[in-house]
Amino acid sequence: MNDWPLTLMAVHAHPDDEATGTGGVLARYAAEGIRTVLVTCTDGSCGDGPEGAKPGDPGHDPAAVALMRRQELEASCDVLKVSHLEMLDYADSGMMGWPTNDAPGSFWQTPVEEGAARLAELLRRYQPDVVVTYDENGFYGHPDHIQANRITMAALAMTALTPKVYWTTAPRSMMQRFGEIMREFGGDWQEPDPAEAAAIAEIGLPDEEITTWVDTTAFGGQKFDALAAHASQGENIFFLKMGQKRFTELMGVETFVRVQDTTGAAVPENDLFAGLR
């Protein structure tokens, strides 16, 4: 037996990402006595500033936005009962194609080996049994999400650790309903052109390829409140418009694809720690 507690490490790109895809599992496993470690790779400085100011607009101060988002992240972690928050503090790269992608010091411009070496140090310190991050496309093509996947997989290769490794995903059946859900809650939804529709169709996985379905319904309130803690980004967090009850109904199961395992636990599974306890 190891002399450290069962540990979940989630590696995310920005403040607020921890709540969207993994808020339920972070809250659930914390409640079960599992140590939860959140690694946030960037400072979130390309997020909205006061009154929705965008990067490059008057009133958008990247340093002030980063500070505000750090405070919101800490509040979210309190809601989710995250045991340890680790910030790599790379500069937010912004959406794919933004000029900030090319800024010196941005996460997207950071050599993978450099970021991986820093994350490997955290892996050795916390000895996680389960590691969660994004897939190779960063779920929807965000450069910082892609980079988080790259440094996570490279960091694991640098260590002798063999945790279960998961990539966040979404069932295609739900993605197909996204426009319907947007319209239900008054979202500004326009039918995408064929190229955009094809790209959306590639997000997530066919339901039968998802290995892990974790019921987090009992923690929907915490997940919703963790998202709400990121108030400065409320314009971009569509899910807050649903209200807590409907949000929990729609977002009460978090889904993953298992990409590394030494336990032999059968799939599909309903527990990231299947085979470990």
Phi and psi at 263, nearest 5°, equal: -90, -25
Tell me the pLDDT of the chain (277 aa) as tens digits. Answer: 456 789 999 999 999 999 988 999 999 999 999 999 999 999 999 999 988 888 888 889 999 999 999 999 999 999 999 999 999 999 999 999 999 999 999 999 999 999 999 999 999 999 999 999 999 998 888 999 999 999 999 999 999 999 999 999 988 887 666 666 666 666 554 555 565 555 556 677 889 999 999 999 999 999 999 999 999 987 767 778 788 888 888 888 999 999 999 999 999 999 999 999 9
Q: Which of 244, 250, 228 is nearest to 178 (CA)?
A: 250
Instruction: Tell me the sheet residues that pair with 257.
Output: 167
User: How far is 256 from 21, CA to CA, in rounded Å?
Assistant: 10
Domain chopping of the chain, boundaries: 7-169+210-260, 172-206
Q: Which of 42, 36, 53, 37 is nearest to 15 (CA)?
A: 42
**CATH label, 7-169+210-260, candidates 3.40.50.10320, 3.80.10.10, 2.40.170.20, 3.30.465.10:** 3.40.50.10320
Q: Is the pTM of this model over 0.95?
A: no
